């Protein structure tokens, strides 16, 4: 998995032979700064971007192959014992309203380099059926984290935040709620040269700017009803800068961005997940102490914990989910939930590249 945060590759070796997935081994491989900058540049229209995107897709395939090999060395497992690689690829455009989404990867090259079958391009089939192509992880949450009597919500806080509503005796729903970490990460990178705000410490040193928070919160996407999905096409530094006066203290902007993430998540739970009793967090934002404290204040009388309490590590949820989605594809089983994405029907997700 390589997500909206653009920090690197999460590689997970997963045993899916039992009802509960077992994480056998994991490996994190950060992106080198030039690759990260090249990926960020591709989010904007530029000269020769088609050629550049294919070159970067090849670079990513080699990055994924290196991560796979490092993971298998760590686990002491030969490639021949792996059934398939589920590779999400790196999103550089997500425009379901125009009928497409782009996750860069060269699946054929990754299969060649790894000697393992590869499943990629998970989102396009759902979009072809009229869906958003996202979020896809709720189908995995539905399979492994649902409780027969307790209303749970799973919140993944990556670059974008998304929710899965697991209400007993009801169809599972899910959607992107808005920005997760990406704006906070971009802001602290600009002002302090750090990739993220550890524990939300910088945000905690600032004060929320009510007028700025109000302006940011008027973004129509935040109030839109699901199904809905978003990404850097909407929430980016250009979007943020349009709302700034230029007189703000940087720490106060960071505090406001944290409040925007926390408030938009809390509003989504209150509006669309009524009756929630338990909330489980995953993704990098699950480790942001200031953000978690904000959520606990905004959502009182709900249990809020990390997904470790349910047996799945918060940092590896998405990677494990795409292993499961790859298994679904290899067995020609649907991987989407139409109630989540808005697709007209269940679909087998992913293109398969045999080794």
Mean pLDDT of 58-80: 98
* Tokens at 317, concatenated: 């949820």
**pLDDT over 70 for what percent of the chain?**
100
Cβ contact 126:341 at 8 Å: yes
Quick one: average pLDDT of 4-31?
95
Q: Could you give the CA distance from residue 187 to residue 295 in angstroms, rounded to a whole number?
A: 21
Give the integer Cα–Cα distance in Å for 116 and 354. Answer: 7
Residue by residue, DSSP assigns 186-216 as: HHHHHHH--SS-GGGHHHHTS---HHHHHHH
pLDDT score of 125 more than 90: yes
pLDDT tens per residue, range 143-190: 999 999 999 999 999 999 999 999 999 999 999 999 999 999 999 999
State how far the Cα of 257 lies from the Cα of 185, in Å rounded to an integer: 10
Q: What is the per-residue pLDDT for 275?
A: 97
114 vs 270: CA distance, rounded Å: 45
The residue-averaged pLDDT of 209-222 equals 98
> Hey, what are 192's tokens?
């302090």
Q: Please write the tens of the pLDDT for every residue from 243-286.
A: 999 999 999 999 999 999 999 999 999 999 999 999 999 999 99
pLDDT-based confidence at residue 46 (cuts at 50, 70, 90): confident
Reported pTM = 0.95
> Which whole number is the average pLDDT over 103-130?
98
Where are the chain's structural domains? 8-134+316-353, 146-311
Q: Is the pLDDT of residue 80 over 90?
A: yes
8-134+316-353: which CATH topology?
A: Nucleotidyltransferase; domain 5 (3.30.420)
The architecture of the domain spanning 146-311 is 2-Layer Sandwich (3.30)
Instruction: Indicate if 146-311 has the same CATH topology as 8-134+316-353.
Output: yes
pLDDT of residue 64: 98
Write down the pLDDT at residue 329. Answer: 98
Q: Mean pLDDT for the chain?
A: 97
Does pLDDT of 43 surpass 90? Answer: no
pLDDT of amino acid 117: 98
Q: How far is CA 144 from the centre of its chain?
A: 18
Summarize the confidence of residues 182-211 as an average pLDDT: 97
Q: Are strands 173-179 and 160-166 parallel, antiparallel or unpaired?
A: antiparallel
Assigned token pair, 188: 């602290």
Alpha carbon distances (Å) from 270 to 42, 229, 298: 36, 18, 10
Mean pLDDT of 301-320: 97
Per mean pLDDT, which range of 38-47, 88-97, 176-185, 322-331 is the poorest?
Answer: 38-47
In the Cβ-directed half-sphere of 217, how many Cα atoms lie within 13 Å?
20
| Structural contact between residues 21 and 323, judged by C-beta atoms closer than 8 angstroms | yes
Kindly tell me if the per-residue pLDDT of 47 is higher than 90.
no
Please give the helix or strand (H or E) that residue 35 lies within, else none. helix 33-41
Element (H, E) at 176: strand 173-179
């Amino acid at each position: 998995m390589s997500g909206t945060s653009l920090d690197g590759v999460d590689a997970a070796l997963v045993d899916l032979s039992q009802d509960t997935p077992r994480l056998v081994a994991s490996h994190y491989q950060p992106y080198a700064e030039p690759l990260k900058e090249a990926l960020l540049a591709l989010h904007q229209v530029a000269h020769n971007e088609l050629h550049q995107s294919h070159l970067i897709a090849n670079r990513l395939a080699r990055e994924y192959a290196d991560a796979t090999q490092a993971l298998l060395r760590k686990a002491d497992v030969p490639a021949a014992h792996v059934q398939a690689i589920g590779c999400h690829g790196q999103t550089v455009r997500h425009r379901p309203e125009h009928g497409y989404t782009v996750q860069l990867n060269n699946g054929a090259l990754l299969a060649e380099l790894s000697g393992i079958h590869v499943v990629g391009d998970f989102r396009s089939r759902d979009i072809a059926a009229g869906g958003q192509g996202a979020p896809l992880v709720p189908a995995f949450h539905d399979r492994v984290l649902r409780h027969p009597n307790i209303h749970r919500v799973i919140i993944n806080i990556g670059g974008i935040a998304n929710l899965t509503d697991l209400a007993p005796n009801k169809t599972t729903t899910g959607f992107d709620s808005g920005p997760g970490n990406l704006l906070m990460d971009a802001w602290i990178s600009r002002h302090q040269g750090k990739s993220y705000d550890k524990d939300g410490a910088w945000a905690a040193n600032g004060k929320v700017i009510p007028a700025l928070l109000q302006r940011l919160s008027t973004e129509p996407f935040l109030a839109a009803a699901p199904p809905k999905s978003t990404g850097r096409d909407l929430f980016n530094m250009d979007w943020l800068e349009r709302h700034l006066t230029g007189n703000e203290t940087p720490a106060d902007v960071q505090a406001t961005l944290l409040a925007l993430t926390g408030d938009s998540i809390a509003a989504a739970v209150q509006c669309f997940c009524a009756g929630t009793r338990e909330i489980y967090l995953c993704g990098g934002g699950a480790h942001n102490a200031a953000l978690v404290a904000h959520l606990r204040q905004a959502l009182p009388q709900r249990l809020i914990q990390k997904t470790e309490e349910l047996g799945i590590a918060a940092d590896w949820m998405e990677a494990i989910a795409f292993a499961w989605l790859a298994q679904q594809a290899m067995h020609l089983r649907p991987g989407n939930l139409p109630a989540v994405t808005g697709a007209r029907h269940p679909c087998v997700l992913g293109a398969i590249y045999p080794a």
